[in-house]
Structure 1
């Protein structure tokens, strides 16, 4: 039986590799890092989260919560690792980034049916394969994908969640509360008077703005634009 080739060691690629291997397939999982680094990743681990550490709601009345319930019943590697590395987040499933990625990396490295290949794939394979390289696909492979599909890409620019230095916070003025009055009180909150709110708004409007790295027609995702 021919090995199943999976390109990309992100969430989708890791889940695909695990599910195939669990069903007896011999899998070669290709991840270009650390041989070919990206501008975003900070480690060499598989399934490194480069945006939010939240996997959204666990509540079954939410689509994302129902999906997680189904994934748990189907022995999802990603959800299993998330549960094992979860941190307090009210009704949401949030994870410790490093523990989450380390858990997945270790389980795939030690799976008897999976071989992890730290090499860059620059062309879409001619044999059946799963391409799961995501938005940080290398330029050569991206060009090959575009040539294979014979068209342009569909994309948008998703904001990066802002990270605040804990040492800069005055915890004497903060309080714990849940989000949307659901789940545990696991989030730090700051109560602002109308005057303080107006000051914050004016400071944000007058702050230095980051220029787009590419052209000016960046397709921003309007539903996810935190302050950066």
Structure 2
């Protein structure tokens, strides 16, 4: 397996512009089975989950995992609304839930215990599906990043994810390194997803090397390491 093939199998192939059409979603599903291999998952808004799966079936392609986003992108919804979003996503057939943890200092969930209860409730509502916790690291100090990672780890998140991709900066090697060390120090089986501004093969390589240096080469597998990206695949194909 060459480097490009290795990267492709780690990608959550994403379309979250908010301007998608049905045709664009079907094209996304088709592209997920690329000449370089299949991606780890396709990530779309909840209303498109069923359409992605239908596109796989109609194209007679293997049905890949479909991820979606909740409390997205601002992380400011009350818990009951987020629970309703998760419930709807599961009804539509979501395999993975990318949840934005409240991160604004003006959020009603402002302290450690409140945020921990929030994530635990969402973990329970996800009914065993993969839960990726988006911490919006570019908006947090190093201490806040570490504290938020500790919440996710304590609540049983399956992945810690850097960013929604809707704020600047998105993913950074500095934040990723801190998050990966939090996972290592916890000793818990938690994955990591770098997302937000990863567009080039060289950028993907940076995060792969970082994860391998901290958690070892075996960590960089689709079950524990992802790259959230919308244009990275096309960059490699071109």
Per chain length, whose mean CA-contact separation is higher, i.e. which structure has more relative contact order (CA < 8 Å, sep 6+)?
1
The structure with the largest alpha-carbon Rg is 1
Q: TM-score, normalised by structure 2?
A: 0.21
